[in-house]
Structures are given as C-alpha cells and as structure tokens.
Chain A
Amino acid sequence: MNPFVETRHIIQRELRKNLRSVKGIALAVLTLLGGSSIALLIAKYNDFKREEMGQISPEELHMLREKALARLYEEDTAKWLADAPEVLLALLSFTVWLAPLLIALMGFDAISPDIQHRTVRYWTIRSRRWSYFLGKWAGLWATVSIVTLAMDAIIWGVCVVRGEADVATTLSWGVRFWLTSLPLSAIWCSIAVLISSLFRVPMVALLVTFATFFTLWVVYLIANVAHLDPLLYLYPNHYDHLMLDPKAYRFGTGVLASFGMTALFVAGGSALFARRDV
C-alpha cells in the first residue's frame, strides 16, 4: 500500500476522533465562543471609536492605522494591511495567538496515550511508523484548521452583519488571513506531535508542550528586546511578518520557511518514533 494512502486513512480517523471526542467538541465550542466574544468586543470598540472620533476623516483614520501597524510590520506590509477591516486584523492576531494554546490542548495526546496504553501496536503492524506520525500531525493540523475556519467564519458573519465591510472585502481579507494562519499552525502542530511522541504519560506531554511553547515565546521576547533578529525565526508566529508582506518573494519565503520548519519537526519526530520501541 502506498504510504500516503496509509496516511490518508490515519488523517480521516484523527479528524473523526478529534471532532467527535468530548475534548475536541469542548475545545471547538470554547474556541468559537472565544472568537465570537472577541468579535463582539472589537465591534463595540469600533462603535465607541466612531462616536469619539467622529470628526476624523476616513483618510486620517487610515493614516493612523498605517502608523500603528508600522510599529509591528515593515512599511509596505503596514500600508497594505491598513486597507484590511480592523475586525479581521484583530481576528488574525487572535487566531495566531490562540492557535498554540488550542494546539497544545488538542495535540498533547496525539500519540502519547497510544504509547502509554500500547494502542499504537495495532497501527505499527499495519502502517509505516512515519506514515503514522505524518497522519497524526496532518490530522491535528486539519482539525485545528477546521476549528479556526469555523471561528473565522462566525466573525466574518459578524463583520458583514454589522457593516464593518462588504461581503467581498470580508471574504477576500478573511480567507487570506485564515490561509496565513495555516502554515504557522502547521509548525505548532509538528512541535506538539513531536513532544507527544516522546512521552508515555499524556500529562507530562502536556506540561512539556506548554513549557516548550512558553520558552519559544520568551526567546522571541528576548530577541525582540535585544534585537537578536536571527533568534526571532525560532518563534513560529514570527513568520506571519513574511507571509503578510505584499511582495511575492517575501511571502514565498515565509511559506517555504514555515513548511520547512514543519518538515524538519515532522521528519525528526518520525525518525525518532521509527527508532523507538513501542
């Protein structure tokens, strides 16, 4: 059997398992509720801003937004992003920041309970270890992508209903931002599955996953403050700077770098998993 067919079967099962388990449903509901609440808060803030800053023209508002974004992104990117509806920009940040938490909670038990209870033995005689690992990673990534898409879709709806932007603008920016979050969550998923495969006890895997994600964030903060630019690239979410850039080569570099980092973790995890006793 083609190893990718094995992987496809495992992805399908993971999706079914993740989206049907109590944990999966609870996390999906919490994510959707969280997303909806944030959308409403942003909308309320926009109402307040319109009331308070009514005398400011849209052009001036655009300039202000551009200046604010320039503190976070490069000039071209800031100029480009200033055209996006604010709600969707906030949603992108929320998705990118929420994803690691969601992934840690959904991914810590991707493999570790299978090793703990030796359930993995039913798979290792039927699938290559690397296709099992790849299937687990892709299944988690697909689940997270579906959950974030559902959350985004709700907010797109709020955005259109409240007249923040028309349907075409909302979908155009919304889908673009959601697609930008995918390569980032792919990296986080690969790290979570790698950690899950290293520990027999799911609780240990959860703690180590949180610790690792937190450490990466701290490294990012330090690198930011100390201007240690190469270190910034250790933090997966930093690649959004490249992927949000309107210049094609920088966007391409961001996508390639994200998937390269993902491939590195998936390949490393698969290799370690293939060598270990189960």
Chain B
Amino acid sequence: MSTEENLARESKPASQPPAPEAQANVESAPKPADGLTGYSPAPLPPAARGAKKKRKDVEIAIRVNKVVKRFGSKTAVDGVSLKVKAGSVYGLIGPNGAGKTTTFSMLAGFLKPSSGEIEVLGYAPTQVDELRSRLGVLPQDALLPPWDKVGEFLMHMARLQDVPADRVEAECREVLEEVDGKDWWNVRCSQLSHGMAKRVQLAQALLGEPEIVLLDEPTAGLDPRVAYEIRQLIKRRKGRCTLIVSSHNLQELEEVCDAACILDRGRVVASGSITELTASSEEVRIKLGAGPAPVAVVRELPMVKRVEFDEERRELVVYFDRGQVDAETVIGHVLWALLQNQARISGVTKGKGLEQRVMELT
C-alpha cells in the first residue's frame, strides 16, 4: 500500500486540516525539503558531515523515506515513510511480523535498508561518530555480555560514548539509580533476572542523556510492577528527549505516546497523533446499562453529526465535527440529554481506543 493510500485510509475530510501536532509528527508523503532542517533525502547535506547538529538545530528527530527491507525473497518492510518530531514520544505499533522490529533495527543502524533513506538527527544511522551519545537504543532481544559486571559494562559503554573520564562512574551510577538498580553495580550480567537485565539495558540506553532514545518492547516479559515503573520512567523522560517506542502493548503506547504509526505486513496502514488514531477528537462512546436508550434525543443535539447504537453491546457512538466543538463539550451535552431521558450510563470514552483501531486496521 502506498503512502497516499495510507492517507486515504485516514479518511480525513479535505476541509479539516490535520492538527498542527499531527503535521509535525507524521509524514505520509515524502517531500524533497521541508524547510525545517534543510533536509534532502540523499545524499546527506555537507553540513551533516561536518559539525554535529546541536539539539536546538533539529526539529525533526527522525525521517524515514520510502524504506524497504528485504530478507531474501521476503519483504519485511515495504515503503515505510514517517517523520518524528524532536521531543515527542512516538509509537511503532503492529502485530507480530508487521515490521516493527525491522524498522526499529534500521533506525538504530543494526540493519541496512534495501532501499530508501533514513535520517536520525540529520545523519545516517550508521554515522556512529556523529550520533555518539545522541542516540540511545534498547534493543529487544540483545543479551548483556554475561561475564561483565553491571558497573563494568556500563562504564565501558560510557567510555565508548565519550563521557569525560572523571564523569564515567558517576554517570553510570546515576543512570543505574534511575532504573532502580543501584545495588547491582557488582553483579554479573549473567546473574540478573529478566526484569533486572531489562532495566540495565534501559540504563545503557539512557547513558549520556541522549537526544533520541529507541525502545524496542521495553516492558515485554516484565511483571506489572516493573512494567509500570518503566512506563513511569519513560514518562519522566518525556520532553527531555525524543522517544521511539515499539510495543505490542497498546494501552501502554496510548498512555505514553504523542503519536504513532500502525504497521501491518511491512506497510504503514495508519499514522498520526494518538488523538487522530483513536479518533478521540471525533467521536464519543457511551456504554448504556439496561433500560431506555434515547438515541433520537442525542441525534437531535446541534453539535452531533451522526449517532450509531449497537444494541447488542449497548454502546452509543456519537460523531461530531472536531473543528466546531471539543469532545468534553459533546460529552457534557450528550450525558445531560441521556440522563434527562432516564438512560443508565455505565461508561464513557473518547474515541475508540488504540486497541480497537489496530484491530480494525490489521
């Protein structure tokens, strides 16, 4: 599916321009230059080969342009394009085999695209020196070196990141403390539990305060408490750096991400801000208990565009024009009308939830 088709599946009316946030976060059609960073797909601009771009110079942290990755005859990623705004939290969503980890691995420079271009902070992901200490990566299934002690491993990583010699140990201890692992300094990596290892992996990704942090399944296989703590850690990092999170856990992504793209069979099937993806600025879902369902009354409300009622699930879906009114106002009016007509309300949600959206698209 082409990026233009992806756009079509977003089914946004022409009269409704996308939210500014969405414009900045999502690129469905490649542009030769966008005026933000002097970007041109290939070759890299001369400036990119010179001095490192400082944080303030970069508005678009990651650009992916028509990237294809083939493994033999199998195409794992097929023409993916996306754009991630600096400072945002961006999700890569999709079922198994959708191409999330392959896309992620290309962003980190582990895999080379068969065609297309990728820029991370204006550089190719393989330009290690330019991206040193600016890009942190938590790979999904990369084991820690078993013979190294946690402290030694982190210090070696910090040295390779060019952390000043007098700051190496302090920085490693700080980042280990941030993941709640300050007592593990002298523990061998082979002796860490899965949860502990994941946190050490996260610590190495956060070393040196990188501008971009790529997290592949950061909470996979973790117990709910540790997963919660990692989510909180990601939230704390929000605004301090750009975070790209690849995950199966849609509730988690909905909770932490500003924007996301949904992949299926190697292609982008939808992308945008979480608000757009969940249509939370276009529809309200109201679960009704047993009793009357005054659909007609709701339909007559002036801000309501359309109403659907699923009798089996007893769910009322109210569509409205997001350019005219916000979801909170609609909820107020709709609930008022329902209560006036003796309806019993058991739940209200804005939009359809990321999970449902993904189920529809993949």
> Which A residues contact B (CB, under 8 angstroms)?
1, 6, 9-10, 13, 16-17, 20-21, 114, 117-128, 275, 277-278
Contact = CB atoms under 8 A, between A and B. Distances in A.
19 contacts: A1-B132, A1-B160, A1-B162, A6-B160, A17-B147, A20-B147, A117-B142, A117-B143, A118-B142, A122-B144, A122-B145, A123-B160, A124-B128, A125-B131, A125-B135, A125-B137, A127-B128, A128-B129, A275-B112
A277 B204 contact: no
B335 interface: no
Contact of B109 (A10, A16, A17, A125): A125
B157 A126 contact: yes
A17 B153 CA distance: 11
Contacts of A20: 147
Contacts of A125: 108-109, 128, 131, 135, 137
A121 B108 contact: yes
Given A118-B139, A124-B109, A127-B160, 7 more contacts: A20-B147, A117-B143, A118-B142, A118-B143, A122-B144, A124-B128, A277-B112
Chain B interface mostly helix, strand, loop or mixed? loop
A113 B161 CA distance: 23
Nearest to B105: A277
B141 interface: yes
Contacts of A17: 145, 147-148
B299 to A, nearest CB: 55
B143 A126 contact: no
A122 B157 contact: yes
A42 to B, nearest CB: 36
Interface string B52-90: 000000000000000000000000000000000000000
B132 to A, nearest CB: 6
A13 B148 CA distance: 9
Interface string B135-168: 1010101111101100010001101111000000
B147 A1 contact: no
Contacts of B135: 125
Nearest to A126: B160
B228 interface: no
B110 interface: yes
B128 A128 contact: yes
Nearest to B136: A125
B111 interface: yes
Interface in B160-200: 160-162
A17 B189 CA distance: 13
Given A117-B142, A277-B112, A9 B160 contact: yes
B110 A126 contact: no
A122 B142 contact: yes
Nearest to B162: A1
Most chain B CB inside 10 Å of its own CB: which residue of A121, A125, A277: A125
A9 B156 contact: yes
B137 A121 contact: yes
Nearest to A116: B143
Contacts of A16: 152
A117 B145 CA distance: 9
Interface in B192-217: 204
A122 B128 CA distance: 12
Nearest to A8: B159
B156 A119 contact: no
A1 B162 CA distance: 7
Contacts of A1: 129, 132, 160, 162
Nearest to A12: B156
A123 B148 CA distance: 14
A278 B143 CA distance: 13
B156 A13 contact: yes
A119 B162 CA distance: 20
Contacts of B143: 117-119
A125 B108 CA distance: 7
Nearest to B160: A126
Contacts of A21: 147
Interface in B278-306: none
Nearest to B133: A126
Contacts of A13: 156
Nearest to A6: B160
A126 B145 contact: no
Closest 10 CB pairs of A and B: A118-B142, A126-B160, A117-B143, A121-B142, A277-B111, A121-B139, A1-B162, A9-B159, A278-B110, A125-B137
Nearest to A24: B147
